[in-house]
């Protein structure tokens, strides 16, 4: 496959790479349409953009919060509710799912201090920071 992009990656100075790492920037940005409609992408062993996009799909857009839906932040201690949606990036969403926060699961709020929650879910306890609690929507039990 073409070596040009690889060569580019190599000649990147270390502080550029440093900045890229901090900004979490990859070397391919198909979705932004940076001139690689059907060309090879630089960093995926010559995968085409369609494949690249499929591979990156899981890092894609997060479902936007529905303003009508209440989030766990609003629940006082002692309340029960059913989890509805997790509006989080896929990696975090998967972790929360494996910890038992699947749709419809009943949770009990053990403590809520300014949106920082301890919840009882299934038979364990989870501590959620406000930025997580505010992205979990619920239905009333």
Residue 82 within binding range of another protein, rule CB under 8 A: no
Q: Restricting to residues 97-126, which ones interact with another protein according to CB under 8 A?
A: 97-100, 102-106, 108, 110-111, 113-114, 116, 118, 120, 122-126
Burial of 85 from C-beta contacts in 10 A (0-12 / 13-18 / 19+):
middle
φ/ψ of 126, rounded to 5, equals -120, 140
| Angstrom distances, CA of residue 93 to CA of 56, 70, 89, 109 | 16, 18, 6, 19
Q: How many residues touch another protein (CB under 8 A)?
A: 56
Among residues 57, 62, 72, 69, the alpha carbon closest in space to that of 109 is found at 72
Residue 51 within binding range of another protein, rule CB under 8 A: yes
From the CB of 3, what's the least distance to another protein, in Å?
Answer: 18
Residue 17 within binding range of another protein, rule CB under 8 A: yes
Task: Report the distance separating Cα 9 and Cα 11, nearest Å.
Answer: 6
Q: Which residues bind another protein (CB under 8 A)?
A: 14, 17-19, 21-24, 44-45, 47, 51, 54-55, 57-59, 78, 80, 86, 88, 90-100, 102-106, 108, 110-111, 113-114, 116, 118, 120, 122-129, 131-132, 135
């Amino acid at each position: 496959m073409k070596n040009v992009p690889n060569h580019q990656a190599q000649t990147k100075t270390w502080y550029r790479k440093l900045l890229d790492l901090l900004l979490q920037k990859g070397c391919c940005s198909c979705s932004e349409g940076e001139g690689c409609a059907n060309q090879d992408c630089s960093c995926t062993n010559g995968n085409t953009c369609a494949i690249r996009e499929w591979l990156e799909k899981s890092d894609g857009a997060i479902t936007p919060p529905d303003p009508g839906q209440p989030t766990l932040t609003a629940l006082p201690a002692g309340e029960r509710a059913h989890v509805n949606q997790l509006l989080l990036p896929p990696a975090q969403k998967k972790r929360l799912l494996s910890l038992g926060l699947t749709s419809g699961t009943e949770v009990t709020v053990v403590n809520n201090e300014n949106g920082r929650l301890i919840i009882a879910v299934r038979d364990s306890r989870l501590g959620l920071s406000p930025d997580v609690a505010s992205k979990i929507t619920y239905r009333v039990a």
